[in-house]
Amino acid sequence: MTNLKLNRSFIENGPWKDNLFQGKVVFVTGGAGTICRAQTEAMVLLGANAAIVGRNPQKTIQAAKEIAQLRPGAKVVECSNTDVRDVQSLVKAVDKTVKELGRIDYVIAGAAGNFLSDFNHLSSNAFKSVVSIDLLGSFNTAKACFEQLRKNKGAILFVSATLHYYGIPFQVHVGAAKAGVDALSNALAVELGPLGIRSNCIAPGFIEGTEGMDRLNGKTETKSKIPLQRYGRVEDIAQATIYLFSSAAEYVTGTIQIVDGAVWHSGVFSTKYEYPVNIIKANSDPVMKL
């Protein structure tokens, strides 16, 4: 049984040239997850070698082994027991990657945490935890990879969201963190641009088959309210990732690529939580301990 999201047909039936990223290396935090895994698989299928970075040894090692099977000769390094909240932990992962693969050209900062919580039941520690993983973790990833990015005139892609584009109930923590990620990416695009480093964000919408989709969407029917009338697929995120890392986007930096079928324009996020009934109910409980 394999957990692979893509296969050779992704190239055979797609618009991209085979071996597009031959000789290149991508460093991916959250690479054992669903979305970031598909991003990594696409890069490996197109010739890149990869480093899968994660905290869980079993998931990280298994993901690396499976992804390496996608292409003959592919090299995929596992960097397990890595905590993005600790920059020195990431430095060790970078050192291992460079030692085994020789370089880092592309970085995907995708490690993230999320859960549903109204403001009243959201503790300060829970808020801090998400900000630490999503925002501080993104900064630490860029910081640890900076020497390699500068040396190879590389590119970094932050995995963001659309939750902060307007007020989303039960997502105060994630919205705040992802707003920071966008700001971080934009600032790095300006500051690191003269060094030849590009920085962009990708903002997925409802992507089917992901843990986030199952956890956050629940049993609520939202597909009919999405303008393109379908949920996103991991392939959609993979395609956008390839574009942003490819030479086709060599003059594209400081952007946020939204891949959500225009769902954020439709107000689905607010309506799905039965606003304001559920908000009033959740926040009518006794004030929770800080």
Q: Is 178 a catalytic residue?
A: yes
243 burial class (0-12, 13-18, 19+ CB within 10 angstroms)? middle
Q: Is 124 a catalytic residue?
A: no
Q: Per the residue annotation, which of 160, 185, 199, 272 is the catalytic one?
A: 160
Residue 181: which region, alpha, beta or left (left: phi > 0; alpha: psi -120 to 50)? alpha
Q: Per the residue annotation, which of 5, 59, 178, 272 is the catalytic one?
A: 178
Contact 8, 86 (CB under 8 A): no
Inter-axis angle of helices 124-131 and 172-192, to 10 degrees? 30
DSSP secondary structure letters along 135-182: IIHHHHHHHHHHHHHHHHT-EEEEE--STTSS--TT-HHHHHHHHHHH
Q: What are the catalytic residues?
A: 160, 178
